[in-house]
Copies of this chain bind each other. A is one copy, B any other.
């Protein structure tokens, strides 16, 4: 499901290249394949022999680089890039990454996907010691920690800094002679390495971006790893070995592109298995299966095949709607004007529909879609969700920081069903998710972070603990 429909937002995709004469161009095409991870801003920094040059802007990558000259002037054999989704209040251009740092003796470009749980504490401590932060995002913190480290080597400084930041993070740090990649101790965010046919290296958020630039997959970056890529090749090291794999389950459910593999598991196939599992756990007597386009189509075909019901295109998404700035007024909406989704009357009229959605955040979309189908003549709409109810906030880089936005934190399943106007509603079980993903690792929840579903966070919450406790109090009321 796309951003404009769900309002559940990934915070960022990263892409870095070392050792290609087309570094910035490859970064462009790589980011293009990661555009679904952030649509509010994009940037690329290239390093041409110690001279950094950045182009950044608000909006889609293609808009930022509408003038071909902006990309062409990013020369050099190394580059890092970033696509950004920004949380409220931080929409300024100064927060668009990569961040560029020019010291008298060194240059750095930093790209960051994730969210720190002790950012506030670190920032206060650094400011008290004279540090000046330029942007409001967390990402600058790492650089301040590196520059204030007493370690004699840059690698040492970076490891020391990485051990001070907590939460979910995938960092790319480009210097004049190296590209560093580091992942948090639980591997909450995805990060992979590949090799170009011409020999250079690529590090990026998802394998779909490796495919987009013709790079061969080498490995997933593992929790606590610090990778160094330079002209001698790839070196894998650790800054910590504490921490179990707890990769964000929502990457499998919703965020990642269907053609990406995470720890060897294809995302589309995982979703199809979730759909099939859902059909087993929550069967229903109906005529057709319809998925909410586009993110739920894999799960819907899985449900259809497992249930033996025909899979139909009962909903259509206008592929141009992401670009329009003009929205129908409330009055027009009430008269039936709509821009994004249409129900296909010729398909659903008189049918009992199993409607598959991958997840429910606020519930407003569900309500609208059930109504669309019923208005188009569906005789029943059975809502089946291919993941468990989302009840807890995420502090690792997904834009749900309060349970107050989560309908499943506030209503029971029957209440939700009534509220959505559906004829029945059920969800996939937690175990169903874990089994459908089927990672082959010895870690709690099969190596997944299931905190959104069960509140069991893989790390301490630091600066967010108080806020979380307060929310839990509120929930209990």
Residues of A within 8 A of B (CB): 2, 22, 25-26, 28-29, 32-33, 35-36, 60-63, 65-66, 68, 71, 93, 101-105, 123-124, 127, 129-134, 136, 140, 143-144, 147-148, 196-198, 208, 211-215, 257-259, 261, 265-269, 272, 294, 297-298, 301, 305, 310-313, 316, 318-326, 328-329, 332, 335-339, 342-347
Main secondary structure of the interface of A (DSSP, over half): mixed
State whether B313 touches A297 (Cβ < 8 A): yes
State whether B266 touches A335 (Cβ < 8 A): no
**CA–CA, A143 and B131, complex, Å:** 10
Neighbouring B residues of A26 by C-beta, 8 Å: 332, 337
**CA–CA, A129 and B198, complex, Å:** 41
Neighbouring B residues of A144 by C-beta, 8 Å: 130, 132
Q: Give the residue of B93, B136, B318, B323 whose beta carbon is less than 8 angstroms from that of A323.
A: B323
**CA–CA, A196 and B342, complex, Å:** 17
Question: What is the chain B residue whose CB lies nearest that of A29?
Answer: B337
- How far in angstroms is the closest Cβ of chain B from A309? 10
Q: Give the residue of B35, B268, B318 whose beta carbon is less than 8 angstroms from that of A344.
A: B268
Neighbouring B residues of A272 by C-beta, 8 Å: 312
State whether A259 touches B323 (Cβ < 8 A): no
Query: Which are the 5 A-B pairs with shortest beta-carbon distances?
Result: A214-B336, A266-B346, A62-B324, A259-B344, A134-B134
Neighbouring B residues of A320 by C-beta, 8 Å: 32, 35-36, 60-62
**CA–CA, A346 and B262, complex, Å:** 11
Question: What is the chain B residue whose CB lies nearest that of A269?
Answer: B346
Contacts A127-B103, A197-B336, A214-B336; A268 near B60 (Cβ below 8 A): no
- How far in angstroms is the closest Cβ of chain B from A181? 21
State whether B313 touches A258 (Cβ < 8 A): yes
State whether A147 touches B123 (Cβ < 8 A): no
- How far in angstroms is the closest Cβ of chain B from A272? 8
Neighbouring B residues of A318 by C-beta, 8 Å: 32-33, 35
Question: What is the chain B residue whose CB lies nearest that of A320?
Answer: B35
Contacts A29-B332, A198-B335; A2 near B268 (Cβ below 8 A): no
Looking at A26, A127, A147, A313, which has the most chain B CB atoms within 10 Å of its CB? A313
Neighbouring B residues of A259 by C-beta, 8 Å: 316, 342-347
Neighbouring B residues of A294 by C-beta, 8 Å: 319
State whether B258 touches A211 (Cβ < 8 A): no
